[in-house]
Amino acid sequence: GVGFATRQVGSMTKPTTIISQEGDTIILKTQSTFKNTEIKFKLGEEFDETTADDRKVKSLVTLEGGKLIHIQKWNDKETSLVREVNGNQLVLVSIK
């Protein structure tokens, strides 16, 4: 699992997320004072991801109704992250 100190610091950060596209590949960069991450993927295609808290997961990102749905699976567990554009901001609207 995630250590107490990492969880505390991570919960206080306000990351900046930058999404760009090269051909049919999406690049999602997350930058914060705590840690920077970058993933590259194609919508609807499963890929290997190492999360900010160092989990090795199988991820799948789809675009549904203007929302980016990001599913991460590992060790019989699953997390879903839903991001949507709200004005000029990309908002993480739910984590399950």
The pLDDT > 90 percentage for the chain reads 50
pLDDT score for 90: 78
- Mean pLDDT for 65-77 is 93
> Cβ of 68: how many Cβ atoms within 10 Å?
20
Q: Which two tokens stand for residue 39?
A: 């993933």
Q: Is the pLDDT at 5 greater than 70, yes or no?
A: no
d(CA 69, CA 64): 7
pLDDT score for 79: 92
d(CA 47, CA 6): 25
pLDDT band at 26 (very low <50, low <70, confident <90, very high): very high
